[in-house]
Structure formats: structure tokens, C-alpha cells
Chain A
Amino acid sequence: MRVLAYADSGSWAAQLASAADAQGGDAAVFVPGRELAEAAADLYPEVYFSELGPFEPVSYSAAFSEAARSFKPDLALFPCTNKGRSIAGLYSSAAGIRSATDAISLSARAGDSPITVRRLVYGGRAEAEFRMNAPAAVCMAQGSYPERGPRGGRGGIHEVRAPGPASSVDFRPRRGEGVQPDEADVVVVAGRGIRSREDLELVKGLARALGGAWSVTRPLAADQGWADSWIGISGLVVSPKLYIGVGVSGQPHHVMGARGSRIIVAINKDPGAPIFEECDYGIVGDLYVVVPELLKVLGGKGGGR
């Protein structure tokens, strides 16, 4: 099974390397930029890259297609991110091949046998298992495969031609204070149980005390404007070692954004909150009482109310 991955970060290159390994056969990756290519050469025997400007889906997908013309994959793997889905959609429609998104596991054997994909459907409330014939394209859910370490040896690096962007691009990087949720080992998330913007300090304090990042669920960002980004399928998808939801009820689209977390903790006063059905540890209680107690036990670092 020849597998060509697309990755735009070290973390995704490492996750998809591990997904590709699990299929056996030959693996390669396409990355945007020589710098990433140098790093990816520790993970893959073959690395393709183009020098591309800021992300623009049509040109990125065309460059990936160039790499695919060279490598001739049976299976193309993409991150299940906004960018990844765009590239996967453009690539698979141009190549006329079948695709699947939100895949949580993959099994492909060599030769003509079909690929079995397990993917999340219905907002993550259900999973479906499919057989797809190669060639196919799959978007992998964050955290479904662990990040691989270096394989020893250096892969070959090949530059491929890329067209110019199909649209002009003006990129403004996200400015966040402190550790970012998609890079942190610990993420503390504020949900609708937090009553005011000022009360977010409880969540920020807990994040600080644990050396992690803080974020919010979508309503607190999109409706209330208390933050620029949020955790959820339409926002940031994270898979830290530890996720703590404070006053988070556990709506499916939010949970999909954090399911890859190793340990999920929930604090909510509603015992029927859906998040309690998908957590490792939970405290049923008033967050305004529980979080200060947690901070006390942690030594009062980072302040509280």
C-alpha cells in the first residue's frame, strides 16, 4: 500500500507517519516549505515539498497532486482540519477518487484489498465502518494515531512545481497570550457555566496553576465575544494529555474538538450533562466552589477569584 500524506505541521507529519506505518508498504509526505521538509525527512523515507505562500487551498492541492503524480499513492492521508478537508476535497474530486473524513482508524493491506475505515458520523455521536477500494483519500481525526518518533536515517527530499495561488491571500496569524491550546499538554476550557467574562479568571488561573492553556466553548467566543477562538469541530481541535471542562455541558460539536485528549475531566453542577458520559473523571458540583478548592490543593499558584 503506497501512502502519501499531507502535513503542514510537525505534529501532523508525526501522526500521519504513524498512521501510514500501520498500513505497511511505502510512505511519503508532502509538506509546504523546505523547512518542514527537512524536519519531515526524519519521519518519512520520501518527502515532497513546494515553496508555497500562505495557505490557499487550490494551489496547495495542485502541488499535492504534483507529488501524487510522482509517487502514485494508493491512499492519500490528510489532517482532519479545515485546511486538510479543503485539500482533500479538491484532490479527491480532481482525481475522481472516493474519500472519507473524521477517520479514527484505518486498516489497509497490500495489493488490491480494500481499505477499511472507521469514521465518526452524526456529529461524532456514532461511528461507521466502511470498505473503500484504492485509490482513496482519508482525513484522519486529530489524535487517532500517536505521533511517531524519528525512524533513524534521512528520507529523500524532492521539490515539486507548484502553481501560483488561485486567490490573493492576506494572512494574519492568531495572536494568543501564553501557551496555545493546540500546543499545550493541558487545556482548561470554560463553558456556559461561567457566568461572566470576569469569571473566566477562574479558568485562566487553573490553566496557569497546571502550566497549560485555556480556551472556551463556541458560544462564549462566537456569541459572547469573550475569546477569539474556541474548541470544537468548527474551531480548534485539540488532543492534549489533560482536558478539563469547567462548566462545559458537552455538546457533540465541542466534544468532537477534544476527543483525542488522553484524559478528560469535567466539572459541572448538572449531573445529567452529556460530558459526564464521556469523561475519565468528573466532579458534579458548583464550579464556583470546586475550582477554588482545586486551586487550594494545587498550592494556590496562579491566583483564583
Chain B
Amino acid sequence: MKLLVAVKPTFDIGQLKFEKDGTPMLDACPVSLGEADKCALEEAVRIKERLGATVAAATVGSSEAHYKAIRDSYAMGADEGYLVKADDPWRLDALSVASAIARVAEVTGPYDLVLAGSGAGDTHASVTGPMIAGILGIPLIAGVDRLEITGPGAVTGTCKLEDGSYTYEARTPAVVTVTSEANAPRIPNLRAILRSKGMQIREMDAGELGVDLRRLEPLRVGRYEVKRKGVIYKAEDQKGAAEASASLLAALRSEGVLS
């Protein structure tokens, strides 16, 4: 079996700071392999350990963080790594990234599964996986928290969507996106980290792959402006809590949100 996992470094948005004029300070923001991407890698490596498979990791971008993402994928158990070179990778649009990954899959495959992390990322917001499926014209199981190879050429995934739980069985090849609830990704030990240092990363050129990388040109990017009233009551003890509660409920009544 051959599995391809699309990975990307993401900003740790909890640590993102802003300049006075609202510009996000991206250069100072820590970047690492996203939680959902790690879960996707973990699912792939578990399949490798259970059934025997090779796992390849692919990313689009030439920053140090992108090379580290492939090395971290190796430390988690990936066997091969592909990096599509792209300067200024943070503004690439989702369709460009998906096209590049799809081409890597075509050139280095065929793969039984293409996996990606789903949700809770910073900007691409869960469309990249579906786009890869759309470009390759193969089935999509999006947002799994449980994944199983259920037979030769068959994959089953369970997804918790807004209205309930969906279990899909698809024929491979297929695209599967994995949520960060799917598993607890293994933490590489020192030996795995040291071993991953020496492994080759195969660099690829977008032009040679026939992919046109386009970047988003925002007119402006600024801190999300909170338009809320911000009325704060203090409740330091029982008496304070009673007063604050009364004030709050009176305010909510005048807002018309209490029936």
C-alpha cells in the first residue's frame, strides 16, 4: 500500500501578536506542524504498522519551517518526503496548494490514500483536502475521527458532522481528511529525531509539475475588530456576585434577549 500525507506548517495563532496598526506579526509567530496534520500522519503510520505500507509526506513551500515539517514527518514514521519549492508560501491560495499536492500524487504515486489534516488550521480552512479529491476525481471522506482499511481497495471512515455521525466506505484511491480528534499523535523520541536528520527530502519544481502557484493579494489584513460592548462586572464575593447577577440580568432584559 502507498499512502501520501499532505502536511503544512501552521502558525500557532494563540501566540500571534499584532502591531499597533493591527498588522499581524507573522515573523515573530511560532510555526509548527498542525495538530490535524499530525493526526493524519499518525493514521497513516498506524496503517503502515498494521498492514505494511509506505508513507510519503508532501508539502508546498520553501521556508525553513516547511523543511522541518518534512523532517518532523520522518520522525513520526514517514518514509519519503516531497517538497514543492515556493517562495513566500504563506500567501499561496488553497487551489494552488491542492493542485501541487495532486500533481505530486500523480508523479510519485499511484497512492491508495491521500490524507490531509482537516479543520482548525490557520487560513486554508478545510478546503484543501476536498480540492485534491476534486482535481484527482476520486472519492472524498472529509473529517474522520476513525479510519480503517476494511479490505483490499476499500476504506471506511466515520465523521462527526453537525447533524450526526456519518460512516462512509469508499473504494481506493480516495482522499481522507483527518480531524484532530482522531488520535493522539505519537511524540517522536530522540532516536527518531536524530535519524530523521539524515533522510533526504526530494525537492520538486512547480513549473516542472505544471502547476501555476498563485498567491493571495489581500487589500489589507488587520486584527479582528471586536465590536462588543465589553461591560464587565466584578464579583469578588457572594454579595458582589448577587449584585453583578442582578445588573447582568437587567442589562440582558433591556437587550431583549431574555424571554
Spell out A's residues near B (CB within 8 Å): 54-58, 61, 80-83, 85-94, 96, 98-99, 101-102, 116, 120-131, 139, 166-174, 182, 185-186, 210-211, 222, 228-229, 233-234, 236-237, 241-242, 251-253, 262-265, 276-286, 289-290, 293-294, 296-298
Contacts and interface: CB of A to CB of B under 8 A. Distances in A.
B116 to A, nearest CB: 11
A172 B161 CA distance: 10
Contacts of B181: 222, 234
A82 B162 contact: yes
Contacts, number: 261
Contacts of A171: 164-167
A98 B95 contact: yes
Interface of B is mostly: mixed
A134 B179 CA distance: 32
B129 A89 contact: yes
Nearest to B29: A122
B246 A277 contact: no
A88 B95 CA distance: 11
B39 to A, nearest CB: 11
Contacts of B258: 210, 242
B256 to A, nearest CB: 8
A210 B257 CA distance: 10
B79 interface: no
Interface stretch (B47-55, B62-70, B104-112, B132-140): B132-140
B228 A121 contact: no
B240 interface: yes
B191 interface: no
A78 to B, nearest CB: 10
A29 B236 CA distance: 52
B167 A130 contact: no
Contacts of B133: 58, 89-90, 93
B241 A285 contact: yes
Given A242-B257, A263-B255, A233 B119 contact: yes
Interface stretch (B1-9, B120-128, B192-200, B203-211): B120-128
B140 A279 contact: no
A186 B95 CA distance: 38
Interface of A is mostly: mixed
A269 to B, nearest CB: 9
B127 A101 contact: yes
A89 B238 contact: no
Interface residues of B, number: 82
Contacts of A83: 161-162
Given A90-B131, A122-B122, A253-B120, A168 B165 contact: no
Contacts of B251: 281
B94 A99 contact: yes
A88 B131 CA distance: 9
B245 A82 contact: no
Interface in B215-259: 216-226, 228-238, 240-242, 244-246, 248-249, 251-252, 255, 257-259
Contacts of B244: 283, 285, 290, 293
A265 B232 CA distance: 9
B48 to A, nearest CB: 23
20 contacts: A54-B166, A55-B161, A82-B159, A85-B126, A89-B131, A93-B134, A125-B16, A126-B24, A127-B225, A129-B220, A167-B174, A173-B163, A277-B230, A281-B251, A283-B234, A284-B232, A285-B240, A289-B237, A293-B235, A294-B248
A121 B168 contact: no
A63 B213 CA distance: 29
B180 interface: yes
B167 A92 contact: no
A262 B125 contact: no
B131 A93 contact: yes
Contacts of B220: 128-129
A284 B24 CA distance: 29
Given A129-B220, A265-B252, A297-B246, A282 B233 contact: yes
A89 B124 CA distance: 11
A93 B131 CA distance: 5
Contacts of B80: none
A130 B218 contact: yes
Given A166-B139, A286-B235, A294-B248, 8 more contacts: A86-B126, A86-B142, A131-B217, A166-B170, A262-B255, A264-B228, A283-B244, A285-B234
A289 B24 CA distance: 38
B95 A125 contact: no
A250 B230 CA distance: 14
Given A94-B134, A125-B13, A277-B226, A297 B162 contact: no
Contacts of B151: none
Find the residue from B217, B234, B244 having the highest chain A CB count within 10 A. B244
B152 interface: no
Given A58-B140, A172-B164, A253-B120, A129 B131 contact: no
